[in-house]
Amino acid sequence: MTAPFSPPAPITVNVALGERAYDIAIGRGLTATLGERIAALRPGARTAIVTDESVAHHWLPQAEAALAAAGIAATPVVVGDGEASKSYAVLQQVCEALIAAKIERTDLVVALGGGVVGDLAGFAAAIVRRGIDVVQVPTSLLAQVDSSVGGKTGINSPHGKNLVGAFHQPALVVADTAVLDTLSPRQFRAGYAEVAKYGVLGDEAFFAWLEANHADIFAGGPAREHAVATSCRAKAAIVARDERESGERALLNLGHTFGHALEAATGFSDRLFHGEGVAIGTVLAAELSAELGMIAPDDAARVARHLAAVGLPTRMADIAGFRQEGLADADALMALMAQDKKVKRGRLTFILLAAIGRAVISPDVEPAVVRDFLAGKLAGAPR
């Protein structure tokens, strides 16, 4: 299989939510069109651009210039880098900044950044003045294919990831694939875990295409836009059918139950990026599926092999210092998973595989089985 030619114009993916439907615009150089797109979307609106320090250095001047060219006033709100900004304290900082800037309900919040900024700014927009529309301008691969789409916003609690938040759909998503050129290789790889997830959970042909074309995605070739658009279409279709995650949308959490527990165990720090946790979690979900007889061991190995081929961690032992700090404890990980948002009446819901390309919701896996599975993985890990 070969990558398709790069399209001559931006790709538009629609998220079909009736009166709240919105477009995802995907292509290189789209930051320059931000002003004209917002002017068309909300004539006369003012904006507040929420971003982080690193993104502000690279892309805030361009975003401000695009808005200014369209006659749109913009107030920058800059927060610190990293997962630590998804906190009560920083949420308060952003909310107060929006209020001080006199951003009204008819104005717009622009979330210019990766998943952390998108979640934080989106949540602030959801609660300030009981709801201000948000435009997501994702600057990481992970945000472009996952967190900017679908309306999930929130912050972390000391008890776990994303436990405080709201559904707040964006009014527009502008995914400029040129901004991905400024990501570190590690950041790009972490985002790629979410791309691969879409193939593993619902599209075996896409997963096979990724196996053949991942080098062109990483190199910034025409495969990159195709991968982003395919991922967005997959998520948009599921969100349109199940906006509030009452059923099918839970499939998008493949790898996340394990991954979120690992993120919590490492203190939501840069030791384990979210996408890296998802990569390890996806492999664990595939291996648990194989242990339960749902898929062949070779299928689980295929998933692990592809993620490892692009440089992602695939084992808990790949997390720096994981064993030395006493975190490699099956009971401790089970306790962290018990705080997962998908827990229902004290029972965990896992997303497992019936095949590569066909994930299933499994609400009836015995906790003792999961605990023994994790203990076995940890016991076999290098010391």
**Catalytic residue (one of 156, 162, 213, 253):** 253
Active-site position among 224, 226, 274, 341:
274
Residue 111: closest CA among 132, 129, 96, 130: 132
Q: Answer yes or no: 256 catalytic.
A: yes
102 as an active site residue: the answer is no
Give yes or no: 86 in active site.
no
Residue carrying structure tokens 């609690």? 157
235 is catalytic: yes
CA distance 216 to 300: 24
pLDDT in tens, 223-282: 999 999 999 999 999 999 999 988 999 999 999 999 999 998 888 888 999 999 999 999
State how far the Cα of 259 lies from the Cα of 291, in Å rounded to an integer.
19
- pTM for this one? 0.91
The pLDDT value given to residue 246: 86
Is 263 in the active site? no
User: Given 64, 194, 225, 276, which residue is catalytic?
Assistant: 194
Catalytic residue among 83, 225, 245, 263: 245
CA–CA gap between residue 301 and residue 287 (Å, rounded) = 8
Count Cβ neighbours within 10 Å for each residue of 251-275 and write b for 16 or more, e otherwise.
bbbbbbbbbbbbbbbbebeebbbbb
Q: What is the pLDDT of residue 161?
A: 86
What pLDDT score was predicted for residue 327? 62
Check if 57 is active-site.
no
130 as an active site residue: the answer is: yes
Looking at residue 321, its pLDDT comes to: 81
What percent of the chain shows pLDDT beyond 90? 83
- Catalytic pick among 37, 168, 226, 235: 235
Catalytic residue among 189, 214, 249, 302: 249
Per-residue model confidence (pLDDT) at position 46 = 98
pLDDT for the residue 322: 76
Which amino acid appears at position 269 of this protein? S
Q: What is the pLDDT of residue 320?
A: 85
**Which among 256, 315, 341, 377 is annotated as catalytic?**
256
| 197 noted as active-site residue | no
The catalytically annotated residue of 37, 86, 152, 214 is 152
Measured CA to CA, the distance from residue 146 to residue 200 in angstroms comes to: 15
Sign of CA dihedral 366, 204, 281, 243: negative
Q: Known catalytic residue: 194? A: yes
Q: What's the pLDDT score for residue 383?
A: 44
Burial class (CB in 10 A: 0-12, 13-18, 19+), 375: middle
- pLDDT per position as a tens digit, 87-122: 999 999 999 999 999 999 999 999 999 999 999 999
Q: Is 37 designated active site?
A: no
Print the SS3 string covering the chain.
Answer: CCCCCCCCCCEEEEECCHHHCEEEEEECCHHHHHHHHHHHHCCCCCEEEEEEHHHHHHHHHHHHHHHHHCCCCEEEEEECCCHHHCCHHHHHHHHHHHHHCCCCCCCEEEEEECHHHHHHHHHHHHHHHHCCEEEEEECCHHHHHHHCCCCEEEEEECCEEEEEEEECCCCEEEEEHHHHHHCCHHHHHHHHHHHHHHHHHHCHHHHHHHHHHHHHHHHCCHHHHHHHHHHHHHHHHHHHHCCCCCCHHHHHHCCHHHHHHHHHHCCCCCCCCHHHHHHHHHHHHHHHHHHCCCCCHHHHHHHHHHHHHCCCCCCHHHCCCCCCCCCCCHHHHHHHHCCCCCCECCECCEEEEEECCEEEEECCCCHHHHHHHHHHHHHCCCC
Task: Report how far apart, in Å, the C-alpha atoms of 57 and of each of 54, 64, 364 are.
Answer: 5, 12, 48
Phi, psi (degrees; rounded to nearest 5) at 351: -100, 115
Residues of the chain with pLDDT under 50: 1-2, 5-7, 383
Domains and CATH numbers, the chain: 11-182 (3.40.50.1970), 185-379 (1.20.1090.10)
